[in-house]
Amino acid sequence: MGSMTLVALLMCLCAGALVVRAEDPYLFFTWNVSYGTIAPLGVPQQAILINGQFPGPKINCSSNNNIVVNVFNNLDEPFLLTWHGIQQRKNSWQDGTPGTMCPIPPGTNYTYHFQVKDQIGSYYYFPTSSLHRASGGIGPIRVNSRLLIPVPFDEPADDYSVIMGDWYNKGHKSLKKLLDSGRSLGRPDGIQINGKSSKVGGNNEPLFTMEPGKTYRYRFCNVGMKTSLNVRFQGHKMKLVEMEGSHTVQNVYESLDLHVGQCLSVLVTADQEPKDYYLVASSRFAKTPLTAVAVIRYTNGQGAASSELPKPPPENSVGIAWSMNQFRTFRWNLTASAARPNPQGSYHYGKINITRTIRLANSKTQVEGKLRYAVNGVSHADSETPLKLAEYYGVPQKVFKYDSMADEPAPEGTSNILVAPNVVNQTFRDFVEIILENHEKTIQTWHLDGYSFFAVAMEPGRWTPEKRKNYNLLDALSRHTIHVFPGSWSAIMLTFDNAGMWNMRDEYNLPDYTKLGGIVKDMPMPPPYSV
């Protein structure tokens, strides 16, 4: 599968033990990853379960907790997990992406250690190799504020995690064969909500229950392969309170768009007639929309949910304008206290001078009969040896070259692309502006591991330096994903203050890797970095 990986490399590194303060508690998990039969869309199929479940077990933790997960791989293929949006400061060894780690061989176990440092919010974990995420292995991560750190809303009566996304009945092995034969994944078969997809009017078990008068927090994550979703409740409004680790200005919404790889939380108050209501998730920008529902039941409620579902927002280009406008309403609550995503001080990010502008544009080309995606004319190919390990062992020149890619897109129509590991050398602590331009027909969601960035703008058309006057330089959300609509651009700003080699990628074109550790696989695992 074509990949669009930019590996951002930061210098100023030195090896040493990860400094863990004694007062930060440890949480231990033991996970058994195995195949099992589930029926997310009503058709029994083989899926990847963790401790027999899909979604997998929740990691419920607080800021600065140390997390230790011993993962037993009982699949017949190597398995690799990433902790999506968990910043693991200075510790990209545990990132679980193919440039930085080797997967866990079948029949063995590996223990991930990481710290959820200086962050709060809603996240998830998922497998990054062999298209495993199309078959499961996904679950929620909830990071609570530490005691004594005030949260900008009253404690909800309960806190519900909802893992949702498009779903294929084929399973990852068949999907992988499709891609390997040069075809695309095609249309998903449906949408799953916490591993189920209820039918309107069916005799459905409730997904969650609410007591009349009480307020509940729902944490939604779109964990799908490629489909943007719109989420809404029958008869209830949603108050947005958190998105990817930032407490937001608490606007009220009828429905919210949630793109692949994104999470948010809303508060919903059970203030309607006590009965059943549907939670609805429908696909966006698709010719034939897919819709899934789940039942939300009032305790002591009487009566089934109405079969009249709340309407989705408009589709097609009108829908993109709607969605962009909604994006602009997502603001950071500057007065809410929380773990700051960038404690090193890019809080007044609008006042920092930009030291580098990187414009990234993707393109699609055939190389030797295979479909390849490139960024600025370079199509990332991972090496057998994880790049970070090659660097650590002082043998990068044997494996890759730094800075093959320019900071500007290749001239349009360029068909010559370079297929090579794409590693960008970025000076430590510099403040950088990255413009993401989408010249393709499908929506992209970019994600940068190890960081939060300020999502300052999103517009249709082409970016020019004059567009900077439209940036939100005051209260843009600090987050770790950004979507880019077709024929549009999005701009992000960040301080590269988390040393290490980190992976930047388009979630939809997540590359496929199954290889083991290459030339360094028999060497001992080095200790994590600290700076």
Binding stretches for ligand NAG (CB under 6 A): 11, 32, 34, 60, 62, 70, 72, 74, 109-111, 144, 152, 249-250, 333, 335-336, 353, 402, 425, 427
395: tokens are 């043998």
User: Least CB distance from residue 114 to ligand NAG, whole Å?
Assistant: 14
CB nearer to ligand NAG: pick between 62 and 130: 62
CB nearer to ligand NAG: pick between 140 and 206: 140
User: Least CB distance from residue 72 to ligand NAG, whole Å?
Assistant: 6
User: Least CB distance from residue 522 to ligand NAG, whole Å?
Assistant: 15
User: Least CB distance from residue 49 to ligand NAG, whole Å?
Assistant: 8
Cβ neighbors of 67 (< 8 A, separation 6 or more) are: 26, 27, 29, 59, 61, 112, 113, 114, 115, 116
CA atoms within 13 A on the CB side of 226: 16
43: tokens are 């058709």
User: Least CB distance from residue 261 to ligand NAG, whole Å?
Assistant: 24
d(CA 50, CA 33): 5
CA atoms within 13 A on the CB side of 446: 27
312: tokens are 């989705």
CB nearer to ligand NAG: pick between 100 and 282: 100
Which residue type, as a one-letter code, is found at position 199?
K
Query: Cα 136 vs. chain centroid, distance in angstroms?
Result: 15
Which residue type, as a one-letter code, is found at position 106?
P
8-state DSSP, 523: S
Which residues make beta-bridge pairs with 495? 431
CB nearer to ligand NAG: pick between 45 and 291: 45
Does residue 511 have a cis bond before it (omega within 30 degrees)? no
User: Least CB distance from residue 250 to ligand NAG, whole Å?
Assistant: 4
Which residues make beta-bridge pairs with 100? none
CB nearer to ligand NAG: pick between 335 and 416: 335
CB nearer to ligand NAG: pick between 430 and 459: 430
Q: In what order do the strands lie in the sheet with 26-38?
A: 45-50, 26-38, 66-73, 109-115
CB nearer to ligand NAG: pick between 250 and 442: 250
User: Least CB distance from residue 411 to ligand NAG, whole Å?
Assistant: 25
User: Least CB distance from residue 349 to ligand NAG, whole Å?
Assistant: 12
Cβ 492 vs Cβ 434: under 8 Å:
yes
For the CA atoms of the chain, what is the radius of gyration?
22
8-state DSSP, 524: P
CB nearer to ligand NAG: pick between 8 and 443: 8
